[in-house]
Amino acid sequence: MSQFSWKIKKKLKNNNARIGIISTPHGDIETPAFIFCATKAALKSFTTRDAKENKTQIILSNTYHLMLQPGSQIIAKHGGLHKFIGWNGPMLTDSGGFQIFSLGHGSVADEIKGRKSNSNIKKTLLSISEEGAIFKSYIDGANLLLSPEKSIQIQRDLGADFIVVFDECTPFNVDKDYTYNSMQRSHRWSQRSINAFNSNLNYKAKEGSSGTQEIYGIIQGGIYKDMREESIEFNQNNINTFGVAIGGSLGSSKAEMQEIVNFTASKLNNIRPVHLLGIGDPIDIWTFVEQGIDTFDCVSPTRLARHGSALVKGKHGKINLKNKKYNENLNPIDKNCLCYTCRNFTLSYLHHLFASQELLALQLLTNHNIFFMNNLMETIRIAIKENNFENKKNEWLNL
């Protein structure tokens, strides 16, 4: 069984776009790649078999939700997430920090992506200290502590190939002093995460329930470039990780998000693979691949499907199949798309399924959106390989 490695196969001369291979014990990942979210150990309305048939390379599950239900030890008894969910491919788990703080701040998930929200999500974060974060379980109301050491232990139980250091994810609207203090605490939590990862407490060092694991660090600093540089310095020189992720708030607008990501990516030394947390808009992916981002994750492709939106090429990026104008449309979503849904069903039929609240609607549209994203990433990889990135980008976005 192969171990972990990272190799850049080609980098463009006129920008930082690159193709590479991330090797794991559960298979290789061709980059740039998109990571689909099986948040609670399930791709909503979709099987892992179907995901594999749609050329999915890697999926992600959520530490926070799985620690609450069913509990990481139950998953460990199955031999880890891979066997628990029937997925024989690479996996990643986040640290659990994002969910604690997104629930704590209420709307941080939207703010990270550069959009304001009026979310009424009930806040469950009770307190943050050097020890960790105390939060109220949405399962039974119990008060629980998640610390760097606890997060790593849970992620070892879950057994994903890649795990992530524990950090605080701040919203864009906190002040600079809070952001700085939070970043410093996240750096200390990162070091504690690394120490726990390298320890021999319950598993062999660097080994989880499914075998060997590797860990990613996270760059914080909010919208402040000086802090981003300091966090980059910490991640590149103070801790030793397989990869690095760009996290935290990326601003209050698309323009600010692009500026922060572009600035951060430009300062990296390209020794390790770079992941961008929580971004999945195809236009953003084209933009950030140019800056040297290797992998992305986001719930949006499957979430959009559940709300009736199909991903399409072009600047608008999606269409709403619940719209009455599709009632008699006998065309597929995309006549050039080779997914099962587009090869077999019309817009009229899909509109009918949503109007009738048939569960099949969710499965068929999820199928299309997952295929669409994997086809997007494959198109990007081929464009880089053939030195045709700008032409393919313009062709994709201007249909």
The CA distance from 384 to 381, in Å, is 5
DSSP summary character for residue 120 = -
Distance CA 261, CA 275 (A): 11
Supply the DSSP string of 129-194, one letter for each residue: -SS-EEEE-TTT--EEEE-HHHHHHHHHHHT-SEEE-------TTS-HHHHHHHHHHHHHHHHHHH
DSSP designation for 365: H
Give the DSSP letter of residue 273.
-
Instruction: Produce one character per residue of 344-357: b if its CB has 16 or more CB atoms within 10 Å, e if not.
Output: ebbbebbbbbbeee
Residue of 165, 164, 154 lying closest to 208 (CA atoms): 154
Please tell me the total number of residues recorded for the chain in this structure.
399
Residues contacting residue 60 through CB under 8 Å, at least 6 positions apart: 35, 36, 37, 38, 39, 91, 92, 93, 94, 160, 297
The CA–CA distances, whole Å, from 162 to 30, 97, 155, 216, 268 equal 15, 16, 9, 7, 20
Any idea what DSSP says for residue 2? -
CA dist 342 and 367 (Å) reads 9
Tracing tokens 């703080």 back to the chain, one arrives at 101
Tokens coding 213: 């694991």
DSSP, res 56? -
- For residues 103 and 94, the answer to whether their CB atoms sit within 8 Å is no
Catalytic residues: 94, 297
Pairing of strands 143-146, 133-136: antiparallel
**List of long-range contacts for 130-138, beta carbons under 8 Å, 24+ apart:** 130/185, 130/188, 132/166, 132/189, 133/97, 133/100, 133/101, 133/104, 133/168, 135/100, 135/103, 135/104, 137/68, 138/68, 138/103
